[in-house]
């Protein structure tokens, strides 16, 4: 019999329950409040009381209210129909809820129980299978959604029976599996999995090496991310974290995008709701929403569900990874999740760590990041979950606990700079401060020298150097004055400005400039590196600024033009003429 209990204490959304039987840590329970069931999770257990965090407002709740325990942890429901959905943090379908306002206890089914899916078997009777093996597939939007042996199944199984191709509902039995002891197990198209436990039905997890194209020049060309990589974007408010995440979700080369809007503004999710069904995915020509799933727990939604929302999102991403797909998971923002942990820790009167965050925060964060990765599946296919989280450092100070803990866990660091944002140099990623550890992976260098160009990594490092040198020279000029430094100081500085204006800065709101394919990035990077390697003859430092502004202006017009179009070539020719005005030809060829 299921354990029951009675409410004996209420402090905001922390409720104390006197229980009648066994309960487990992180078990889900429901409070029967005024004919409405409020979902809650056990977060601490005392001698006869369980402390539960309620995923709803507890207004009006009284002591003595009965509580039912479910015997399982918070689980995600996995099956066809997840794609294109808008869920809340607990995977309830937001679109199925009635009315304009969220009502307490309005828990909707994440999938469609009545919908027919055209199932095609992949396994045959007699096949040896294990958790995660592909039994069949249905077409979901355009993805071949694999129906797998439930991840909870332990050991080896034999396919005893599998249905023929045809239309089935998600709860229909599509296969019967026999375990080693001869017991039969029915399998349907859906399965449940506890969100806080990683799905590990893969063979191994090698170091990631495949370049993941995002169309954002400062990322692809300077601080690249890989399939199965991890990155994070810390930045003070107003530096463009969300615009950057939206750009990633629109342009990144992935089969599926999972967006966890965790404790951020509701209007930002609305922007996705409004735009994604309209926008085309440049790679497939389909609507962006067809490859996107949104987990929305915005800042005004119950705080306790915020923590759950990132785990729900990760579980969904891992589920699709097991089908051999390339998933990009974006979470905005992990700081809000950490704050939710802090609120609960505070209510439970735990001894606080730095800035009143719980002591185990760094462990929680690195555990979560470690769930991303590139995997080899047991059947020889590969899949990946790439995770990029934003961090909202308090006061813009990168020394705060969430940023520090994340820095240890993530391999790419995209530092957004207040100065760049103030001078409207967007995206405000500071290319010098930011880094990508993947540039140091020999596997990565190998991969891009074949996939992009043998010179690619060298070019990146050279461009980076120019930026560093430009920054140093700028400081010199500021200290010594415009006429206190040799003219070539100005030249060095302005050459770095060319890279800044033409490569680093990108107009996220311009149709063409918003996304730059890698061939074009490579072309333009070579172009600016050539300019950098050209010597110019200047008489006076006052000529330097207007001259390079002209160069930048023409290069920017190129960025705004269709690649290799008439217009593009016209500007390119104009650029050649401007360069010839001042370029010093050192060695005459021929």
Partner 1 sequence: METTAFQKIHTKVDQITKATCSLHATGVGNEEMALVNDRLAQVVKIEGDLVTLQIFSGTEGIPTNAEVVFLGHAPQLAVGDELAGRFFNAYGQPIDGGPEIDGKLIEIGGPSVNPVRRKQPSELIATGIAGIDLNNTLVTGQKIPFFADPDQPYNQVMAMVALRAKADKIILGGMGITNDDYLFFKNLFENAGAIDRIISFVNTTENPPVERLLVPDMALSAAEYFAVEKNQNVLVLLTDMTLYADALSIVSNRMDQIPSKDSMPGSLYSDLAKLYEKAVQFPDGGSITIIAVTTLSGGDITHAIPDNTGYITEGQLFLRKETDIGKVIIDPFRSLSRLKQLVIGKKTREDHPQVMNAAIRLYADAANAKTKIENGFDLTDYDKRTMSFAKDYANELLAIDINIEIDTMIDTAWKLFDKYFSHAETGIKAELVEKYGKQIK
**CB-wise, 280 or 422, nearer to partner 1?**
422
**CB-wise, 214 or 297, nearer to partner 1?**
297
Contact pattern for partner 1 over residues 546 through 565, marking x by CB under 8 A: x--xx-xx--xx--x-----
For position 271 contacting partner 1 by CB under 8 A, the verdict is yes
For position 460 contacting partner 1 by CB under 8 A, the verdict is no
Q: Within 514-533, which residues bind partner 1 (CB under 8 A)?
A: none
Cβ atoms of 216 and 244 closer than 8 Å: yes
Q: Within 347-366, which residues bind partner 1 (CB under 8 A)?
A: 352, 355-356
> Interface with partner 1 by CB under 8 A: which range of 200-208, 312-320, 334-342, 521-529?
334-342
Peptide bond into 427 cis (omega under 30): yes
**CB-wise, 410 or 552, nearer to partner 1?**
552
**CB-wise, 63 or 565, nearer to partner 1?**
63
CA distance 74 to 92: 12
Residue count, binding to partner 1 (CB under 8 A): 74
CA distance 162 to 176: 6
What string of DSSP letters covers 20-52?
SS---TTEEEEEEETTEEEEEEEEEE-SSEEEE
> Interface with partner 1 by CB under 8 A: which range of 150-158, 294-302, 310-318, 579-587?
294-302
For position 423 contacting partner 1 by CB under 8 A, the verdict is yes
For position 397 contacting partner 1 by CB under 8 A, the verdict is yes
DSSP one-letter code for 222: I
CA distance 573 to 560: 15
**CB-wise, 238 or 282, nearer to partner 1?**
238
Contact pattern for partner 1 over residues 568 through 587, marking x by CB under 8 A: --------------------
Smallest distance from the beta carbon of 313 to partner 1, in angstroms?
15
Q: Within 93-152, which residues bind partner 1 (CB under 8 A)?
A: 94-95, 97, 99-104
Smallest distance from the beta carbon of 14 to partner 1, in angstroms?
10
Strand 412-413 relative to strand 373-376: parallel, antiparallel, unpaired?
unpaired
Overall size of the chain counted in residues = 590
b/e string for 136-156 if b means 16 or more Cβ within 10 A?
Answer: bbbebbebebbbbbbbebeee
For position 237 contacting partner 1 by CB under 8 A, the verdict is yes
For position 35 contacting partner 1 by CB under 8 A, the verdict is no
Q: Is the dihedral of CA 273, 274, 278, 279 positive or negative?
A: negative
Q: Within 300-329, which residues bind partner 1 (CB under 8 A)?
A: 300-301, 303
What is the distance, to the nearest Å, from the Cα of residue 31 to the centroid of all Cα atoms in its chain? 34
Backbone angle region of 71, left / alpha / beta, with phi > 0 → left and psi within -120 to 50 → alpha:
left
Q: Six-digit token pair at 424?
A: 């409207």
Q: Within 470-489, which residues bind partner 1 (CB under 8 A)?
A: 478, 481-484
CA distance 148 to 142: 18
Q: Helix (H, G, I), strand (E, B), or coil: what is residue 179? A: strand
**CB-wise, 386 or 392, nearer to partner 1?**
392
Q: Within 371-390, which residues bind partner 1 (CB under 8 A)?
A: none
Q: Within 85-104, which residues bind partner 1 (CB under 8 A)?
A: 86, 94-95, 97, 99-104
């Amino acid at each position: 019999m299921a354990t029951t209990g009675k409410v004996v204490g209420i402090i905001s959304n922390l409720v104390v329950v006197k229980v009648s039987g066994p309960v487990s840590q992180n078990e889900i329970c429901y409070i029967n409040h005024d004919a409405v069931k409020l979902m809650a999770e056990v977060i601490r257990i005392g001698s006869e009381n369980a402390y539960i965090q309620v995923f709803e407002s507890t207004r009006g709740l009284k002591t003595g209210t009965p509580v039912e325990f479910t015997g399982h942890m918070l689980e995600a429901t996995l099956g066809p129909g997840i794609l294109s959905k808008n869920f809340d943090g607990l995977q309830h379908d937001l679109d199925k809820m009635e009315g304009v306002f969220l009502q307490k206890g309005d828990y909707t089914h994440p999938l469609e129980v009545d919908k027919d899916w055209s199932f095609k078997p992949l396994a045959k009777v007699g096949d040896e299978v294990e958790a995660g093996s592909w039994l069949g597939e249905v077409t979901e939007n355009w993805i071949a959604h694999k129906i797998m042996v439930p991840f909870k199944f332990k050991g080896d199984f034999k396919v005893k029976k599998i249905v023929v191709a045809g239309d089935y509902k998600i709860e229909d039995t599509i296969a019967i599996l026999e375990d080693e002891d001869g017991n039969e197990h029915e399998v349907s198209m859906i399965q449940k999995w506890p969100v806080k436990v990683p799905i590990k039905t893969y063979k191994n997890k090698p170091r990631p090496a495949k370049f993941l194209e995002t169309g954002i020049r400062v990322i692809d060309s300077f601080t690249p991310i890989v399939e199965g990589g991890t990155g994070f974007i810390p930045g003070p408010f107003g530096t463009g974290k969300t615009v950057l995440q939206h750009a990633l979700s629109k342009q990144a080369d992935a089969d599926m995008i999972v967006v966890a809007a965790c404790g951020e503004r509701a209007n930002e999710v609305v922007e996705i709701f409004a735009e994604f069904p309209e926008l085309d995915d440049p790679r497939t020509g389909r609507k962006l929403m067809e490859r996107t799933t949104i987990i929305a727990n915005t800042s005004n939604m119950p705080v306790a569900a915020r923590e759950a929302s990132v785990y729900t999102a990760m579980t969904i991403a891992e589920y699709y990874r097991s089908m051999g797909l390339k998933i990009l998971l974006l979470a905005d923002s992990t700081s809000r999740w950490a704050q939710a942990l802090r609120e609960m820790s505070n209510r439970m009167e735990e001894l606080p760590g730095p800035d009143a965050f719980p002591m185990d925060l760094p462990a929680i964060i690195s555990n979560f990041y470690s769930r991303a990765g590139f995997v080899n599946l047991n059947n020889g296919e590969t899949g990946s979950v790439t995770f990029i989280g934003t961090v909202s450092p308090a006061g813009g100070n990168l020394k705060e606990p969430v940023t520090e803990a994340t820095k240890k866990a993530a391999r790419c660091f995209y530092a957004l700079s207040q100065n760049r944002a103030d001078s409207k140099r967007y995206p405000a990623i500071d290319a010098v401060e930011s880094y990508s550890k993947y540039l140091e992976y020999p596997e990565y260098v190998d991969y891009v020298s074949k996939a992009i160009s043998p010179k690619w990594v060298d070019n990146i490092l050279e461009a980076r150097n120019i930026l560093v040198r430009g920054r140093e020279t700028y400081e010199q000029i500021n200290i010594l004055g415009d006429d206190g430094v040799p003219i070539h100081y100005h030249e060095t500085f302005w050459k770095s400005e060319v890279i800044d204006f033409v490569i680093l800065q990108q107009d996220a709101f311009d149709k063409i400039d918003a996304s730059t394919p890698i061939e074009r990035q490579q072309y333009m990077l070579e172009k600016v590196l050539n300019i950098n390697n050209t010597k110019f003859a200047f008489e006076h430092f006052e000529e330097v600024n207007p001259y390079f502004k002209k160069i930048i202006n023409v290069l920017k017009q190129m960025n705004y033009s269709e690649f290799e179009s008439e217009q593009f070539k016209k500007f390119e020719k104009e650029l050649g003429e401007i360069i010839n005005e001042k370029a010093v030809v050192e060695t005459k060829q021929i």
